[in-house]
A and B are shown apart, each in its own frame.
Chain A
Amino acid sequence: MADQTMSGADALGGVDRIRENYLAMARTRRLYGGLMLVVFIALMASGFIVADERNAGGFWDGVLNIFDFPAEVLSEAREKIANLPGLMVKFLPSLVETLNIAAASTLLGAVAAVILSLLSTRGLARYPALIGVFRRIMDVMRAIPEIVIALVLIFVLGGGPVPAMIAIAFHTAGALGKLFSEVNENASLKPLEGLESVGATWPQRMWLGVIPQVAPNYLSYALLRFEINIRASAILGFVGSGGIGYDLRNAFSWGQGRYDEVAAIFLLLFLTIVFFDQTSSHYRNKLVGRV
């Protein structure tokens, strides 16, 4: 300890300097923090005012009516509550179609995402010079809304589940690719070095060295994406790709007297999401080995 105390005494002037430097730094940080807060509040306020002015009805006039629609749906559904089980059975086939679209697109998208992510992770990439290219490809895939792709494909291929599946898979590849590549960055490079030392090729190193490390995280992201895709494929039903979304649109747009169907469809979707959330967390835990 003696030498430590000595160095402290030597730097007596130094400590004052350190203290003043740190206090100055703390004050600057505080100033910037305060400025950021002011800017943030100003942006929020101005953004809100602009949006409120451009709204047809005005936010404050409309805010009280927000619950009118759900209230109407619920009250009508309550009146016809006896119909709900029958309606849920009736819509089950379209739900299965929607789930099929979601599952197929998640699977295709995930496979593409694994490849894209490995190609765009520093330290793993097959062609390090092309990392930027693959990243931009994924950006593009994420940037185009799936509904635009679906509309174009429906125009070209005609309505049905296939355009929806391609559209969702395209988006999924971009979105999962980014998440996967972040997972890859945290993978240890040591097993890869071990495999490289025995003369393994790049696909061998990736499949045998990286995938076992990242598989639980991949799976949990893929399952989350599957949930999102169930909703996406339901929405694409609105523009004519079948599934439960098509039924939902009909129930909505014909309005009068069909809110019990709307309630039945929402209930089905809700139960589906809960079901897949529960099963997925169960299997994910099993994979990680802590059930």
Chain B
Amino acid sequence: MLELDRLTKTFGGRTAVDAVTLTFPKPAMIGVIGASGAGKSTLLRMLNRLSDASSGRILHEGRDVTALRGAAKRAWQAECAMIFQQFNLVPRMDVVSNVLHGTLNKRSTLATLFNLYPESDIRRAIDILDRLGIAEHAAKRAEALSGGQQQRVAIARALMQDPAIILADEPIASLDPMNAQIVMDALRRIHDEDGRMVVCNLHTLDTARRYCDRVIGMRLGRVVFDGGPDELTTDAAREIYGADAGFSEAATSTAIDALDRPGPAAAVVAAV
């Protein structure tokens, strides 16, 4: 359903994403891992068309997304939701209004400027919030919520877009382990229940192993690993991060059960 063809992004003389070619035949939960500056964020931003590709193509259901302009580009962005590390909500607006922003592409500019949304949309927004377990905060300002709650509001905004693809750029990097798990569980559930494709940039290997069907490792803009979570061994991780034998994942793991987990636990996905 989604195909990247020699996708490249250069900033000045620096190549952030270097001829990435990937094929995703069906919706799956994809994890993208790699060191800071490996081009993970740039890749996601190009998929959402927040930034333009320098060369190469993105094909969705056979349609060239990279060539879209104006209204067609915005319609694609509505189809391909984005979740950010720092949540990127409007802090002074209430939670439901933030979720309703997911429908901006479908509504007239004038009506939305006056914060006028159909009642059915408001009902749906609150249902989505309830699904994510934060309906009781509906009327609060987004800034009054904790980080984990704000990220779930951001997920609700993404769901409000009713997207085919959800891109998540380090969704749990600013969250504590408990909230990180709630957010990752929510993303996994969205994939399992709605059949949406989820592409998730991650910092932590155990998260990628635990939640993803397929893991893509990037280093210096290139794809250096592409395989199932069980193939992501410590050697593979060293290759992705360009680390030497001194690299140990357990040293900085943020998983609550990292201390007593025996080894890579891909089976945990079933427990979600």
List chain A positions with a Cβ less than 8 A from chain B.
1, 4-5, 7-8, 11, 14-15, 18-19, 21-23, 25-26, 29-30, 33
15 A-B pairs within 8 Å (CB atoms) are namely A1-B182, A1-B185, A1-B186, A1-B189, A1-B272, A4-B182, A14-B135, A18-B126, A18-B130, A19-B122, A22-B126, A22-B139, A23-B122, A25-B139, A33-B115
Contact with A along B222-261 (1 / 0, CB 8 A): 0000000000000000000000000000000000000000
Nearest neighbor of A29 in chain B, beta-carbon distance:
B115
Taking the complex as formed, is B266 at the interface, i.e. its CB lies under 8 A from any CB of chain A?
Answer: no
Contact with A along B165-188 (1 / 0, CB 8 A): 000000000000000001001100
What is the CB-to-nearest-CB distance from B119 to chain A, in angstroms, rounded to a whole number?
6
Q: Is A18 in contact with B135, judged by CB distance below 8 angstroms?
A: yes
What is the CB-to-nearest-CB distance from B255 to chain A, in angstroms, rounded to a whole number?
16
- Of the residues B122, B130, B139, contact of A8 by C-beta under 8 Å: B130
- Please, how many angstroms separate the alpha-carbon atoms of A233 and B233 in the complex? 75
- Report chain B residues within 8 Å CB of A22: 96, 122, 126, 138-139
Q: Is B119 in contact with A23, judged by CB distance below 8 angstroms?
A: yes
- Please, how many angstroms separate the alpha-carbon atoms of A224 and B115 in the complex? 35
Contact with A along B116-143 (1 / 0, CB 8 A): 1001001100110011110110110000
- Please, how many angstroms separate the alpha-carbon atoms of A23 and B116 in the complex? 12
- Of the residues B116, B119, B133, B138, contact of A7 by C-beta under 8 Å: B133
Q: Is B185 in contact with A19, judged by CB distance below 8 angstroms?
A: no
- Report chain B residues within 8 Å CB of A8: 130-131, 133, 135
Taking the complex as formed, is B11 at the interface, i.e. its CB lies under 8 A from any CB of chain A?
Answer: no
- Please, how many angstroms separate the alpha-carbon atoms of A99 and B136 in the complex? 61
Nearest neighbor of A5 in chain B, beta-carbon distance:
B133
Nearest neighbor of B137 in chain A, beta-carbon distance:
A18
Knowing A1-B185, A1-B186, A1-B272 touch, does A26 contact B122 (C-beta < 8 A)? yes
- Of the residues A15, A23, A25, A33, contact of B135 by C-beta under 8 Å: A15
Nearest neighbor of B123 in chain A, beta-carbon distance:
A19
- Report chain A residues within 8 Å CB of B189: 1
- Report chain A residues within 8 Å CB of B115: 29, 33
Q: Specify the main secondary structure of chain B where it touches its partner.
A: helix
Find residues 136-154 in chain B having any chain A CB closer than 8 Å to their own CB.
Answer: 136, 138-139
- Report chain B residues within 8 Å CB of A26: 96, 122
- Report chain B residues within 8 Å CB of A18: 126, 130, 135-136, 138-139
What is the CB-to-nearest-CB distance from A1 to chain B, in angstroms, rounded to a whole number?
4
Q: Specify the main secondary structure of chain A where it touches its partner.
A: helix
- Please, how many angstroms separate the alpha-carbon atoms of A11 and B272 in the complex? 22
Known: A8-B131, A15-B126, A19-B138. 13 other contacts (CB 8 A): A1-B182, A1-B189, A4-B132, A4-B182, A5-B133, A8-B133, A8-B135, A11-B135, A15-B135, A18-B130, A18-B135, A18-B136, A26-B96
Nearest neighbor of B188 in chain A, beta-carbon distance:
A1
- Report chain A residues within 8 Å CB of B126: 15, 18-19, 22
- Report chain B residues within 8 Å CB of A23: 119, 122-123
Q: Is B138 in contact with A11, judged by CB distance below 8 angstroms?
A: no
- Please, how many angstroms separate the alpha-carbon atoms of A15 and B130 in the complex? 7
What is the CB-to-nearest-CB distance from B260 to chain A, in angstroms, rounded to a whole number?
21
- Please, how many angstroms separate the alpha-carbon atoms of A239 and B130 in the complex? 69
Nearest neighbor of B136 in chain A, beta-carbon distance:
A18
- Report chain A residues within 8 Å CB of B119: 23
Nearest neighbor of B272 in chain A, beta-carbon distance:
A1
What is the CB-to-nearest-CB distance from A273 to chain B, in angstroms, rounded to a whole number?
33
- Please, how many angstroms separate the alpha-carbon atoms of A8 and B182 in the complex? 14
- Report chain A residues within 8 Å CB of B185: 1
- Of the residues A1, A11, A25, A33, contact of B114 by C-beta under 8 Å: A33
- Please, how many angstroms separate the alpha-carbon atoms of A4 and B189 in the complex? 12
- Please, how many angstroms separate the alpha-carbon atoms of A15 and B126 in the complex? 8
What is the CB-to-nearest-CB distance from A285 to chain B, in angstroms, rounded to a whole number?
20
What is the CB-to-nearest-CB distance from A94 to chain B, in angstroms, rounded to a whole number?
48
What is the CB-to-nearest-CB distance from B127 to chain A, in angstroms, rounded to a whole number?
8
- Please, how many angstroms separate the alpha-carbon atoms of A143 and B143 in the complex? 37
Nearest neighbor of A30 in chain B, beta-carbon distance:
B116
Nearest neighbor of B132 in chain A, beta-carbon distance:
A4
- Report chain A residues within 8 Å CB of B127: 15
- Report chain A residues within 8 Å CB of B186: 1
- Please, how many angstroms separate the alpha-carbon atoms of A244 and B190 in the complex? 71
- Please, how many angstroms separate the alpha-carbon atoms of A23 and B120 in the complex? 10
Nearest neighbor of B100 in chain A, beta-carbon distance:
A26
Q: Is A4 in contact with B122, judged by CB distance below 8 angstroms?
A: no
What is the CB-to-nearest-CB distance from A198 to chain B, in angstroms, rounded to a whole number?
34
Identify the 4 closest CB pairs spanning chains A and B, nearest first.
A4-B133, A1-B185, A19-B126, A15-B130
What is the CB-to-nearest-CB distance from B94 to chain A, in angstroms, rounded to a whole number?
8
What is the CB-to-nearest-CB distance from B193 to chain A, in angstroms, rounded to a whole number?
11
- Please, how many angstroms separate the alpha-carbon atoms of A26 and B114 in the complex? 12
